[in-house]
A and B are shown apart, each in its own frame.
Chain A
Amino acid sequence: AQSVSQHNHHVILSEAASLELGCNYSYGGTVNLFWYVQYPGQHLQLLLKYFSGDPLVKGIKGFEAEFIKSKFSFNLRKPSVQWSDTAEYFCAVNPDTGRRALTFGSGTRLQVQP
């Protein structure tokens, strides 16, 4: 079975700092990769996803992620964070076989200080 690891559990940054959140998955076949975000008091929502093509994908609010197949990684980045980026971020994987349901990582809580 596939699994997802997010090694940064809690990240604290100042506004304008650069962000990189790590995500590694374990699955040998073709995967579809997702980043979801949960802002305080809001629904979990899709930030971006990768399933084929350019391994650098851009999402909403200036976020991007790079799929590196050789490293089984899908790290999330943003060049300059804002206070409004304070949220919990979840990486998820859905292999191209078997059940059509996501396997999530444990999440990273990002706190941006003004």
Chain B
Amino acid sequence: DGGITQSPKYLFRKEGQNVTLSCEQNLNHDAMYWYRQDPGQGLRLIYYSQIVNDFQKGDIAEGYSVSREKKESFPLTVTSAQKNPTAFYLCASSTGEAFTDTQYFGPGTRLTVL
């Protein structure tokens, strides 16, 4: 069953802690993306990767870091430098072949900072 999995579904963090959100895809897609969703603000791009071992900052990369060591995995670390990390985080993937690509989304991780 092809798709994108994200774990955990809910994550609680104390202030000052780093946390890592997992994103795995078995769609054989080259491109992967991380978005942050806040009420009334839509989705904002954090980081994206067009190919393994390469990634680019999106619109709101400050306080976040990523790695892309494997094609199927694109973990996101929310660092203590992120001032307001409580949000819903969505991972997506696409073939990366064209600007017309459809992006496929995972179920999301809801992060709450206590």
B103 touches A102 (CB 8 A): yes
Could you tell me which residues of chain B, from 32 to 69, have a CB within 8 Å of some CB in chain A? 33, 35, 40-45, 48, 50, 56, 58
Q: How far is the CA of A95 from the CA of B35 in the complex (A)?
A: 18
Q: Would you call A51 an interface residue if the criterion is a C-beta within 8 Å of the partner chain's C-beta atoms?
A: yes
Residues in A neighbouring B100, C-beta threshold 8 A:
32, 49, 51, 94
Could you tell me which residues of chain A, from 16 to 46, have a CB within 8 Å of some CB in chain B? 32, 34, 36, 43-46
Cβ contacts B96-114/A at 8 Å (1 or 0 each): 1011111101111000000
Q: Size range of the interface on A?
A: 20 to 34
A99 touches B48 (CB 8 A): yes
B40 touches A106 (CB 8 A): yes
Residues in B neighbouring A9, C-beta threshold 8 A:
40
Cβ contacts A64-87/B at 8 Å (1 or 0 each): 000000000000000000000000
Give the interface of A toward B (CB within 8 A): 4, 6, 9, 32, 34, 36, 43-46, 49, 51, 90, 92, 94-97, 99-107
